[in-house]
Structures are given as C-alpha cells and as structure tokens.
C-alpha cells in the first residue's frame, strides 16, 4: 500500500478550497495583495465546483534515494466528502473515501484494506479539511512563496505553513506550495514538503468540473475473490 499521507494531503489541497479562506491577518504589501487575489479567485472557482475529475502525475523525492518515484492516474471528487483516487501507472491501486471511511483496493494482491481515514493517516489536520470540517486559515498561515519563482501565467505561488498550535496534527508536514492555472484558477500543482526532506509533487491536468458524477463512481464493489483486510492504525510518520 502506498503512503496514504501523500494523496490525503494532495486531495485536501484541492478540496479545502471549497471551505472558507481568510487573509485578513496578512499585511498589506504587494506580494500579499497578489496572493490574496489568487486565493480569492481560487475560492470563487471551487465554490462553484460540485464535483471534479482530473488526471494527475506524482513525483516523489525520498530523502536518501537518488531517483524519484514516478506514478500517475486519475482522481474523482464529489461534495461532500467523496473521493476516488486511482493509481494507474506503474501499478494499479484504487482508493475510495466516503467521509471517514476508506477502502484501498490492490488488484494484484486481490485485497481490499478497510478502515478509518483518520486512523490510517498520520496527519489529522488535512483530513479535517478534506471533509470540510475546518477552515484553511485555522490550520495554516497563507503566505507568498519566498523567492522570485512564479507559476503558470506569472501568477504567484501560494505557501501554506502549519500553525504552531496545529504542529502535532501536521507532524510530518513542513509546508505546502500551491500553483493554480491562469484564467480558470483551478489547482495545477501541489508540492508537499515534509520535515524529513521528502517532497511529493502532484501535477493535475485535463480537469473536468461539474460532470454530475454519480455515486457509482465512488462506490467500491469487491470482486468475489477479494480478501478483506482491516487496515492498520498509523500513530506517526
């Protein structure tokens, strides 16, 4: 089973913008005003999004390993709290989420792991945001990204820094950097930086919003020969 915290944080980055953003505490300078405008447009776009289908590629750099791990697939999201995350390459793996219930299906092993998302993942705050139970600004400081680097169309990158009081619930996470598409303001890339030095970059493409995705997309039906396994509880990194 892949590291669940990677896709949890990535999807939370998409779905959390469906919750309320707040930049009132930020100082009034040019860089911050630019970020505020991007955040405003981003929130407005996702408020109108009831469901979303997209393709993704994932590049994970693991500290101590020379070559990054590459993978790709499709993701489906539906308000409220429904998610399907399909890894298609280099191996097939399907992850289904309904609120706090999660099923991870590995066809190669003919197994489905069943458990609670909040027990299986090490980071609590992203899970709360994934379910829309918290506001982004309650767990993160929203900041301009240091340096002169910008995203597509010259738009500023957004950095999310875990607040000190939330550090226990985001113990693996150092920061999240978000890039949006120009014009549409949908999320283009999410970069997850862990304290350990690991970095996972998700790039999204072929985004298709409001397709009226049916519940059958998110309901997993195990094949007859599938073994059901209770997923282990993760208490830390």
pLDDT digits (tens, 9 = 90+) for 151-174: 999 999 988 887 764 444 456 778
* Max intra-chain CA distance, the chain: 60
Query: What's the pTM value of the predicted model, to 2 decimals?
Result: 0.80
In a domain? residue 224: yes
**CATH code at 197?**
2.50.20.10
In a domain? residue 81: yes
Chain-wide mean pLDDT for the chain?
Answer: 78
**Total domains in the fold of the chain:** 1
Task: Pull the structure tokens for residue 146.
Answer: 């240091």
Residues of the chain above pLDDT 70, percent: 73
What residues make up the domain containing 73? 4-230
In a domain? residue 236: no
In a domain? residue 189: yes
Task: Give the C-alpha separation, 162 to 80, whole Å.
Answer: 24
Cβ neighbourhood burial of 210 (10 Å; 0-12, 13-18, 19+): exposed
In a domain? residue 237: no
In a domain? residue 235: no
What is the model's pLDDT at position 53? 93
For residue 47, what are the contacts with CB-CB under 8 A and spacing of at least 6? 18
Which residue carries 């447009």 as its tokens?
A: 41
In a domain? residue 13: yes
In a domain? residue 111: yes
Ranges of H-type helices in the chain: 4-15, 30-47, 117-120, 124-130, 136-139
């Amino acid at each position: 089973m892949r590291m669940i915290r990677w896709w949890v944080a990535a999807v939370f980055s998409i779905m959390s913008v469906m919750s309320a953003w707040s930049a009132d505490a930020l100082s009034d300078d040019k860089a911050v005003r630019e970020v505020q405008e991007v955040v405003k447009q981003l929130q407005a776009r996702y408020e109108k999004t009831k469901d979303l289908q997209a393709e993704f590629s994932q590049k994970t750099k693991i500290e101590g390993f020379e070559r990054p791990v590459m993978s790709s697939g499709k993701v489906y999201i539906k308000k409220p709290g429904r998610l399907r995350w399909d890894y298609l390459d280099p191996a097939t793996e399907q992850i289904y989420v309904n609120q706090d219930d999660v099923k991870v299906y590995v066809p190669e092993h003919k197994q489905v792991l069943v458990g609670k998302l909040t027990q299986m993942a090490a980071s609590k705050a992203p899970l709360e945001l994934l379910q829309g139970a918290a506001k982004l600004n309650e767990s993160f400081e929203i900041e301009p990204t240091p340096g002169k680097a910008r995203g597509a169309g010259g738009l500023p990158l957004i950095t999310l820094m875990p607040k000190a009081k939330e550090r226990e619930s985001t113990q693996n996470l150092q920061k999240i950097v978000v890039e949006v598409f120009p014009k549409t303001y949908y999320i283009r890339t999410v970069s997850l930086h862990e304290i350990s030095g690991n970095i996972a970059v998700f790039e999204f493409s072929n985004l298709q919003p409001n397709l009226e995705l049916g519940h059958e997309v998110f309901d997993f039906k195990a094949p007859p020969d599938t073994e059901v396994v209770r997923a282990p509880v993760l208490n830390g990194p």
